[in-house]
Amino acid sequence: MAKPVQIEVWNPKGKYRVVSTKPMPGTRWINLLIEQDCRVEICTQKKTILSVEDIIALIGDKCDGVIGQLTEDWGETLFAALSRAGGTAFSNMAVGYNNVDVNAANKYGVAVGNTPGVLTETTAELAASLSLAAARRIVEADEFMRAGLYDGWLPHLFVGNLLKGQTVGVIGAGRIGSAYARMMVEGFKMNLIYYDLYQATRLEKFVTGYGQFLKANGEQPVTWRRAATMDEVLQEADVISLHPVLDKTTYHLINKERLATMKKEAILVNCSRGPVIDEVALVEHLKQNPMFRVGLDVFEDERYMKPGLADMKNAIVVPHIASASKWTREGMATLAALNVLGKIKGYPVWGDPNRVEPFLNENAPPPAASPSIVNSKALGLPVSKL
């Protein structure tokens, strides 16, 4: 039997018991729950990833809903425990839900929430940051300086790549991929090549318009091209950012063979899902091609890196922080709380989970709806007409 876990309690006499498996940024999410008569219990256990047993102990005998994290294994065992406790709502504080067995949730009648619509620009900004840091070898230079190795200016010291006029490649031109592309095109006057199953019409219009603006001002216009295959992007682009969904068709999308087709001085960035890259093959490629660089926010076996990756000077690695801006993380906490609250109160589901601004406006009450429930159709939940 799991030991009791440490908790912090807000509004102890609240009618509905809502558990958060981790402290989350901001206090608005807490206040929104308290205002609707919820008792809020926040796990404060000094443990990065809670076990299934820990979460069962948190759920206890009576629990109306849980706000969880993508590091937790939400499957048959946990949804059964939540159902036994009378719970009908769970929400990840994340847009992804690879950690959730949605079929098990359906079996026990538990709504599964996620938090899209609030991560787009923040994630794209980190991808752009990794692109620039890799191109200009910023992390290497920082370590060099801190180690006291700088004796003075040298012509060849940390020479990197100029982005202006080069080609940026985007694989997966959805919301985040398109936002990243716009930043790189407008910020660094890069040409665009992209691959997506669907035409990114708005992105194409943006690049066309910006190219016309540059031409009108006497500058070289930027261009765009939609590639017929992903391999075209890999072969032609100088900087490539990955933004696909993760499924069986995109597992190890970047493997030994595809790495070999890329330019020797290319930059590869991944802020999507770790398993889209064969990390073992990547380490070997980095060893053999010292001017090839990568920027990684996610990893194949997160929280671990494959052997050798941490030793690579031509790799920049950060701990899954793509959404880690204050505004975004507080927004994610708010959306997750409102997903749970909406189901508890019997509210309908918001019609467009990517248009969440009304829920994030701190100067007005949020709509009486759950922002995003991924299994709403399976559970037959009504859709808001607001």
Task: Just list the catalytic residues.
Answer: 273, 302, 320
Report cis status (omega within 30 of 0) of the bond before 329.
no
Residues 6+ apart with CB under 8 A from 105: 74, 79, 90, 111, 112, 375
The secondary structure of residue 383, as a DSSP letter, is B
Element at 149 (helix H, strand E): none
C-alpha distances (whole Å) from 285 to each of 225, 242, 255, 258 are 28, 17, 10, 11
The C-alpha atoms of residue 124 and residue 145 are separated, in whole angstroms, by 28
The strand pairing partners of 254, in sequence order, are 277
Beta strands in 219-325 (DSSP E): 224-226, 239-242, 267-270, 293-296, 315-317
CA distance 346 to 36: 12
Structure tokens at 220: 């070289």
Cα–Cα distance, 92 to 122 (Å, whole number) = 18
Give 91's strand partners. Answer: 67, 113
As a three-state string, the secondary structure of 98-119 is CCECHHHHHHCCCEEECCCCCC
Query: In what side-by-side order are the strands of the sheet with 16-20?
Result: 7-10, 38-43, 16-20, 65-68, 89-92, 111-113
Token pair 């959805």 is at which residue? 174
Helix, strand, or coil (residue 56): helix
**What is the side-by-side order of every strand in the sheet holding 315-317?**
224-226, 191-195, 167-171, 239-242, 267-270, 293-296, 315-317
Express the helix, strand and coil content of the chain in percent, nearest 5 each. Answer: 35, 15, 45
